[in-house]
Amino acid sequence: MNYVLYAVPFFFLLIGLELLADRWRGMRTYRLADALNSLSAGVLSQATGILTKVVGLLTYAFAWEQLALFELAEDSLWVWLFAFVFYDFCYYWNHRLGHERNVLWAAHAVHHQSEDYNLSTALRQTSTGFIFGWIFYLPMAVVGVPPLVFLSVAALNLLYQFWVHTRHIPKLGWFEWLFITPSNHRVHHAQNPIYMDRNYGGVFIVWDRIFGTFQEELDEEPVVFGVTVPLASWNPLWANLQVYAGLWNDARRAGAWWDRLRIWFMPTGWRPADVAARYPQAKADLSHFRKFEVPLGRGAQVYALLQFVCYLLAGVWLLAQGDALATGAVLLACLWMALGLYSIGMWLENRSHAWRLECLRLAINLPAFWLAGELGMLTLDATAWAWLIAYSLVSMLGLWLVPRVGRTGTPAARSEANSPPLVHDLIST
């Protein structure tokens, strides 16, 4: 059972309720561009996960078949309870090392880049965690936890973590001692020095208390959310590539070959001495912290929101189809979705080329959907083509109706200095 798919309506219902709570309590925990960036990263993660999840599934199944020490019954309640707790223990170490080693942080950083903290942040997930994440759960296979049980408790662990991404729930008394809560997870998402690299548990906070990584949320130390090297972008593709690109640039600039190799596995933030001296990294002064923001008119924001809704619905449909689609069809869908979400991100950043990129995106829709039909992914009759053409024409009309004021790519503070490079810049800089 795909628990995440069935949970999607509840995710957005709770997001809607949180928005109402924001309005009622006079809090500003949401900004449209930040929320769309978080949700875009989540949609991209779920789409690419259809292709990449096979890495974890195959390795786990192989280890279970070949290395299992015990035969645990998948219909036993005790096996399920044991697996649920054991999974969270493995998750703790996966999560902890994801903060403590450069290459693992490169995958996990996506989840922490938002400078807001709300339920949309929970859906902000990586698309590259599959590279190393599977390693941490092999002990469950060795013990003998059946694959079905493993997949189920993994999904339940992920679903639990959704509700803790909110600022509207205070400390919960005795519950704080045993479980991850909004309060102790707010600490985890902070960039304050006292809070950094703390509270790694997924469901249970007891692992942090046992292994010395627990930190309580303090009234005298308000949480500043985000990462110390800000993303400064609404581009979900760059969100997944930012830390990798930084490590790559530091590696190729290093004078010693040993430094070029070990940088990937050194503690997070470690840089070769010669590189750090030539290319120092400035860290934000939290006492004068300003969130990344880009001026954008109301009409342009509405346009971005409506376009994102289309990709969100497409992502839900793709998730529902799951394994029924051929690999080529899923790959096409992922590329189509990546282009669309990238274009929306550029639009939200008010880039000078965003309008042309939107025209290109809309033009590509027709051949992309035709190819999807050829691959057996879609059945497009005359009515479907009429709807697609109508969508493209209405979107083009929207592009022309949106006021062009500010389409010069002049975002607010921090965006020019930290803006994501174009694809060719990743290679040449």
283 assigned to some structural domain: no
Residue ranges for the chain with pLDDT beneath 50: 405-429
> CA 396: distance to chain centroid?
29
> Any idea what the Cα angle at residue 8 is, between residues 239 and 92, rounded to 5°?
60
> Which ranges constitute the DSSP H helices of 109-146?
119-122, 130-133, 138-143
What is the DSSP secondary-structure string of 365-380? HHHHHHHHHHTTS---
- Which residue type is seen at 71? E
What pLDDT shows up at residue 394? 95
Examine the domain organization and report whether 319 and 188 are in the same domain: no
Q: Per the domain annotation, does 361 fall within a domain?
A: yes
Residue 311 DSSP SS3: helix
Q: Which tokens hold the place of 75? A: 């219909």
- Choose one of 168, 191, 211: the last residue of a domain: 211
Rounded CA separation 279/366 (Å): 45
- Residue 409: which region, alpha, beta or left (left: phi > 0; alpha: psi -120 to 50)? left
Q: How is residue 191 annotated by DSSP?
A: -
Q: Look at the chain and report how many structural domains it folds into.
A: 2
- Phi/psi for 101 (5° steps) reads -130, 135
pLDDT at 3: 78
Give 364: exposed, middle or buried? Use CB within 10 Å, 0-12, 13-18, 19+: middle
pLDDT at site 134: 96
Q: Are residues 23 and 153 in the same domain?
A: yes
Residue 232: CB atoms within 10 A of its CB come to: 24
In a domain, 175, yes or no: yes
Q: Bridge partners of 204?
A: 179
Instruction: Give me the pLDDT at residue 287, please.
Output: 83
Question: Domain range spanning residue 365?
Answer: 301-401
How many residues are listed for the chain in this entry?
A: 429
Q: 177 and 71, same structural domain?
A: yes
| 33 & 146 share domain | yes
Residue 218 lies in a domain: no
What residue spans of 101-201 are helical by DSSP H? 102-108, 119-122, 130-133, 138-143, 147-160, 175-178, 182-188
**Cα R_g (the chain), whole angstroms:** 22
Q: How far apart are CA 25 and CA 39, in angstroms?
A: 24
Q: Is residue 227 part of a domain?
A: no
How far the first Cα of the chain sits from its last, in Å, is 45
Asked if residue 222 is part of any domain, the answer here is: no
Instruction: Evaluate whether residue 195 is within a structural domain.
Output: yes
Looking at the structure, do residues 60 and 172 belong to the same domain, yes or no? yes
206 and 307 fall within a common domain: no
Cα–Cα distance, 103 to 268 (Å, whole number): 8
In this structure, are residues 89 and 207 in contact, taking their beta carbons and an 8 Å threshold? yes
Q: Is residue 324 located within the same domain as residue 206?
A: no
* pLDDT score at 428: 34
Domain assignment of residue 275, yes or no:
no
Q: Is 135 exposed, middle or buried (0-12, 13-18, 19+ CB in 10 A)?
A: middle
pLDDT of residue 429: 34
Residue 170 burial (CB < 10 Å; 0-12/13-18/19+)? exposed
- Could you count the other beta carbons within 10 Å of the beta carbon of residue 206? 18
Q: Exposed e or buried b for every residue in 211-220, given b needs 16+ CB within 10 A?
A: eebbbebeee
> How far apart (Å, rounded) are the C-alpha atoms in residues 313 and 301?
19
189, 211, 233: which is the final residue of a domain? 211
Other beta carbons within 10 angstroms of residue 348's beta carbon come to 27
Which element (helix H / strand E) includes 67?
Answer: helix 32-67
Q: What is the pLDDT of residue 324?
A: 86
Q: Which residues neighbour 135 within 8 Å (Cβ) at sequence distance 6 or greater?
A: none
Is 316 in the same domain as 202? no
